[in-house]
Structure 1
């Protein structure tokens, strides 16, 4: 326990709280876009089934949105309580970026969220569609500013150092820093892909349980189509992001690949047990030269190893190494499952009496949380791989913490774990009830031209 000093405990606390928080924006970004598509289909066709699909998923969206707001506020306070030195050094840059997120994204979402959730009987359908669109746009704008701030910490640019403070010099360079475009595309696509599998998996489960009919089939088909498009796109974006990381954070790439010595013709390590003390891998299983081909597009290309920097400048290699393989493995599994299901859809076996075989429905159900797991693994790669720096190459995490004791941080961490586990348990319990209840059928036939639930046509 002596190794768990205040700095490490502060990192664990922030990692735990942001890991909890990121689950909800990931879901709301993707589901907001899904709801926009569903409402547009309802408005175009007048088919009340789409309206019922919207009504079911908007409840889950509202729950996740609320959890995301509450858990996100806590993160801002931790900058002052646990990382006050970091806040003082970077506040001139990160403060405005977070302020822009509030002024543009949060106000936009807050302004239209009430109409989206409660305005069906109070506004016309086109205005309600606009409200859904504004909330969906707001979630993406929020991701834009948060990722701009985080990417600046990964690849800082557009500043000058004045007495230990990062002072803005070029806001365009700060926002559009070298890693930002790749990280934004990768994360937003991950959110949409995560939600596509969540929709498909939940719908598959409802069909297996017999608690939903046509609505679940439609939602499943839409989720599968989106996943089949987004999964291979995400693999491509991930590859491009990896090339960017190789250019700007070669030590992180070396940890991802489990590469200790700089070499040419580097193999792709499928499995190993990295040993940081011995600076080598145990029980290594690898494909010859494949890492060099992927990262340099040359079978004999050179890739820098971890020994290029002192041990004190290396991240925790086992965490980065295994988290990277979890993320990539889930990504390729998503491609396989989505394409098999899409092929069945194209073969007209995703509806009617010739439905997907039970094994594929169970596979889609099992894949429901896959996107969330991949996102958490990806953030572990990004954030642990950046260590020991909080601003890459310029400010160490050890120099960023507040003058707090180990006992103080440990107490707050324990309280966070207790409260958050309780919140997550209550959230999952209520979500499970909604899912198992399914999409309710209309209680009576709707009057001509008016969709079920009493909304306007």
Structure 2
């Protein structure tokens, strides 16, 4: 394995690990705050127990996200020094603001975890809301930095020099809104379905059904509403990408030839050597409509992109298909859940609906990883689109392959530890609920 590939793999593995725990850490505080609000309003001890159980999970994911995020910060400088040398002064502002948001989140979480029965009840609840808001802001700021790589702005690139730097314009670049919106909704979808699925599994096993029903409903509402909103944000992203990164859209759809009335391609196996897609379902005109709002609109194909500037088509296309396919599956589950809430109350007690949510536990996170693959691989061969190639930004230091093996081992170990902690936390929920239920009876 050469050092360039090792550096890319290490960064990809680190991001793939961090994004899951960061998204859970962004979203879970909102679930926790809703359960806490119901406890304050109803004094139902079940909501208090749900709140405390989720708060322990929030603490675990906060710590894990902090560790993996810190590693990523070091990796940017160690693996991509040329990139940081030039790009750091331009998009450093969102990173510094993200550090401030993280600082606030840490303080608020400390108040929340240790404030039970020690501070005003509503102030205590408010600190939990602050944890969620600051965590969400952290995610938006990080995505703003990433979106700058897809849509560089806030500077003039003259004779190889970065001049007239405007960090505000760089942070609020053309891609930040659509990318941040899509990412935030994806975080709610993936976390909502995963948490709801875990509680659905406990319901199917008959363990503390009342507790898990309350928790399931909160998580399911967040996840299903977000899943139905996600196609709308996806449409915004598709139209934005069609304007700014037509080569990425072409790779996502394996769209080799520029044409009007371009078909939407579902599935298929890209044949880059012959510029075609085999075994695909094609819906005439739909890609043109999605990209331009006109069924006869022209969609740029890869034939207008120099070969050396084309993204890897197969990886981008397959990742996009996985993201969309799993996203639509979760939309279908969401529709069934809404029908159960409003029309078919008996479905809420059925095993098949709970089993659907159990099956969906990994769907959101797989779609999340696939979406980030589209974002990052679809930008290649550029680390700063149109300005700096990824190969030109990598460190000249040898032995990166050993670093990749070491970090992979660390992340795998950390994943196992976190999984064991979460399993222990879930099994402890029963004991917690049993004890509080007996206390309330007394």
- Please indicate, yes or no, whether the TM-score normalized by the shorter chain is above 0.5: yes
Does residue 378 (structure 1) correspond to residue 374 (structure 2)? The answer is no
Aligned partners of 2:213 and 2:161: how far apart in 1? 56
Q: Provide the rounded CA distance (Å) in 1 between the counterparts of 2:416 and 2:367.
A: 21
Q: Describe the shift of the 1:39–1:289 C-alpha distance in structure 2 as closer, same or farther (beyond 3 A).
A: same
Q: Which residue of 2 aligns with 1:39?
A: 36
1:10-409 to 2 correspondences below 5 Å: 10-103=7-100, 105-161=101-157, 164-167=160-163, 169-347=165-343, 349=345, 355-405=348-398, 408-409=399-400
Number of aligned residue pairs: 441
Q: C-alpha displacement at 1:94, in angstroms?
A: 2.7
Q: Partners of 2:409 and 2:304 in 1: how far apart? A: 42
Task: Give TM-score scaled by structure 2 length.
Answer: 0.95
Question: Is the Cα contact below 8 Å between 2:45 and 2:436 reproduced in 1?
Answer: no
Structure 1 residues 174-221: Cα deviation after superposition (integer angstroms, max 9, x where no partner):
111101011111111111122211221111001011112212112222
What is the distance in 1 between the residues matched to 2:189 and 2:266?
25
User: Structure 2 vs 1, CA of residues 270 and 447 (structure 1 numbering), >3 Å: closer, same or farther?
Assistant: closer
CA contact (8 A) 2:143 2:180 kept: yes
- Provide the aligned C-alpha RMSD in A: 2.0
- The CA distance in 2 between the partners of 1:258 and 1:163, in whole Å, is 35
Q: Shift in Å at residue 437 of structure 1?
A: 4.5
Per the TM alignment, residue 165 of structure 1 is displaced from its structure 2 partner at its CA by: 4.5
Asked if the contact 2:211–2:433 (Cα under 8 Å) also holds between the matched residues in 1, the reply is no
Give the superposition deviation at 1:305.
0.4
Q: In the alignment, is the contact (CA less than 8 A) between 1:88 and 1:165 conserved in 2?
A: no
Q: Gapped runs of 5+ residues in structure 2?
A: none
Q: Give 2:435's aligned residue.
A: 443
Cα gap change, 1:240 to 1:445, in 2 (>3 Å): closer
Cα shift readout 1:344-376 (whole Å, capped 9, x = no counterpart): 1224636xxx74322221110111121111111
The equivalent residue for 2:412 is 421
- Give 1:385 shift: 0.3
**Range that drifts further, 141-150 or 281-290:** 281-290
Give ranges in structure 1 of 5+ residues lacking alignment. 453-457
